[in-house]
Amino acid sequence: MKAVVLLSGGLDSSTVLYQAKALGLECYAISFDYQQRHRRELESAKAIASSAGVVEHQQVSFDLRAWGGSALTDSKIDLPQDRSVTEMAENIPVTYVPARNTIFLSFALAYAETIGADCVYIGVNALDYSGYPDCRPDYIEAMQSVFRLGTKQGREGIAIAIVTPLINLRKTEIIQLGNQLGVPWEKTWSCYAGEDLACGVCDSCQLRLAAFAQLGIPDPLSYAQSVI
Domain boundaries, given as residue ranges, for the chain: 2-183
Contact between residue 31 and residue 60 where contact means Cβ atoms under 8 Å apart? yes
Question: From the DSSP assignment, how many helices (H) and strands (E) are in the chain?
Answer: 8, 5
Give the span between the Cα atoms of 228 and 218, in whole angstroms.
Answer: 12
Q: What is the pLDDT of residue 139?
A: 96
Helix (H) / strand (E) element for 31: namely: strand 26-33
Comparing CA positions, the residue from 149, 147, 100, 145 lying closest to residue 119 is 147
- Beta bridge partners, 128, equal none
155 burial level (CB within 10 Å; 0-12, 13-18, 19+): exposed
Please name the fold of domain 2-183: Rossmann fold (3.40.50)
**Residue 214 three-state SS:** helix
Strand order across the 119-121 sheet: 56-61, 26-33, 2-6, 119-121, 161-163
Spell out the residues 6+ positions from residue 197 whose beta carbon is closer than 8 angstroms to its own. Answer: 222, 223, 224
Helix (H) / strand (E) element for 35: namely: none
Predicted model pTM:
0.95
Helix, strand, coil shares of the chain as percentages rounded to 5?
40, 15, 45
pLDDT tens figures, 12-32: 999 999 999 999 999 999 999
Whether 130 shows a pLDDT value over 90: the answer reads no
| DSSP conformation class of 198 | B
Whether 82 shows a pLDDT value over 90: the answer reads no
Q: What is the pLDDT of residue 126?
A: 87
pLDDT tens figures, 28-63: 999 999 999 999 999 999 999 999 999 999 999 999
pLDDT range class, residue 227, cuts 50, 70, 90: low
Mean pLDDT of 129-154: 93
Contact between residue 91 and residue 107 where contact means Cβ atoms under 8 Å apart? no
